[in-house]
Structure 1
Amino acid sequence: MKLLKLSFIVTIISFLTACNLTLNPNGPRPNNPFFIATEQVTVKGITIPEGTKLEYEKHFLKKGEQGSILNEKYLTGFRLPENKTINWGGVPINAIHKFYNKDMSGYSVYANFEVAPDNETIFYKKWKEEGCDLGITVKNRDDWSFNNSNILDVEGCSVLYQRYDKDDKKQQDFLDAMYEALMDVRSQD
């Protein structure tokens, strides 16, 4: 009987592996298309270096690594190569990802505080103090650059501070202060 159960389990595992599924309780791991930039390129208004991983929405016909850059409208985010950063509002960042909720117009920006900026602004200091990813809402979804005429608000700072928690004065005051400090930084036009 034990041999029969063991044989059944091995068969199931083999089947799942053959189907490229995992035993992950959250379901199969996505294999969304991505492209590793082979040269410096500009996407969503930001110039990114060679080696940056561009990540795209799930696509019926395209999976995993792609041989060429895909249409920018399907871009969900990018991650710079290890030990590389770009300047976003005077802060060294290494990734941006658009909000998962498609009804929200914005993205999360991930700072690398191990890299010192050219100038420590109030915005940089406040952000570093919390060490979180910033949720930014924007007018134009196709512009991820630091363009404060496009930035509507600081929507959140990781899970610590969120705009949707309107009754928490501490959270709202912090986000208001972050937005004000962000607006004091000159756009990188």
Structure 2
Amino acid sequence: MRKRNYIIIGILALMALLAIGFIIILDGLRSMGNPNGYRAPDYPYFITTEPTTVKNIAFPKGTKLTYEEQFLKEGRQERIMNEGKLMNIELPKGKTILWGGIPVYMIRKFFNPEMKGYSVYADFSKLNDDQKTKFSDMWQSCEGELGVLVKNPDDWSFNTKNIADISDCSVTYQRFFKEDVQQQRFLDSLLVEIKKFGMTK
């Protein structure tokens, strides 16, 4: 009798282990393709159906607006959502708008909620020689996005009164590295050129 009980317990334990293993494998298959090993959230987004002003910037039809995770909101939405929850603005492929006189195709809110600002992504191939400035030359030399700290996070336009500082220019120059004099000087000079350019407009 005791022997039979041990056999039954052994079979049940084996079945439990198999069930757990199956769940782990299934979850792993769902996460395939994600380098972090988990499924990325299906953030809600809206594709503009007409020219739209968002964060004080006019964007063309077809612009993709991506928002933070929200309860019962996933994937493509039929209506534009709360601007305060906006994370990312991406223009239609091949399209740009001018931001500080420079063609840009995407603006992305900082991931760190303690930092009020966003990153701007430029397409310098669309910048004509007669449009180049010291500001554009400095930004282009970084070969990456520009991080902008602002006073009012509801305004992503090139409003120099709202721009408080430059947090980074790609990975090359970072405000975080306070002890690196060269990086700090470059970012200080870049901020000066931004303010100068804003005064001419």
Q: TM-score range by the shorter chain?
A: 0.7 to 0.9
1:22 aligns with 2:31: yes
Give the partner amino acid of 1:112: D
Q: CA deviation at 1:124?
A: 0.7
- Number of residue pairs matched? 183
Q: CA deviation at 1:77?
A: 1.4
Q: Which amino acid aligns with 1:164?
A: F
Identity within the alignment, %: 46
Question: Closer, same or farther in 2 for the Cα pair 1:122/1:15, shift >3 Å?
Answer: closer
Aligned equivalent of 2:195? 183
Alignment of 1:134-173 (within 5 A): 134-173=146-185
SS state at 1:176 partner: helix
User: Out of 58, 74, 81, which is 1:47 matched to?
Assistant: 58
Letter in 2 for 1:134: L
Measured against aligned partners, the alpha-carbon deviations of 1:154-180 in whole angstroms (never above 9, x if no partner) come to 110122111110000111011111111
Tell me the CA shift for residue 186 of structure 1. Answer: 2.2
Task: Report the Cα distance in structure 2 between the residues aligned to 1:188 and 1:57, rounded to whole angstroms.
Answer: 36
- Of Structure 1 and Structure 2, which has the larger fraction of its residues in helix? 2
Q: Deviations over 1:3-36 (max 9, x none)?
A: xxxxx9887655666xxx3233412122000111
Choose which of 141, 145, 156 in structure 2 pairs with 1:129. 141
RMSD: 2.4
Q: Could you tell me whether the CA contact under 8 Å between 1:89 and 1:187 is conserved in 2? A: no
AA aligned to 1:155 is: S
Unaligned runs of 5+ in 1: 1-7
CA distance in 2, matches of 1:188, 1:42: 24
Return 5+ residue gaps in structure 2 as ranges. 1-19
CA distance in 2, matches of 1:61, 1:51: 24
Name the CA distance, whole Å, in 1 between partners of 2:113 and 2:199.
26
TM-score (norm 2): 0.83
The residue aligned with 2:112 is 101
Q: Deviations over 1:98-148 (max 9, x none)?
A: 110111111000001110246211101111122210100000000000000
Higher RCO (C-alpha under 8 Å, 6+ residues apart)? 1
Aligned to 1:35: 46
Counterpart residue number, 2:86: 75
Between the aligned partners of 2:26 and 2:181, the Cα distance in structure 1 is 54
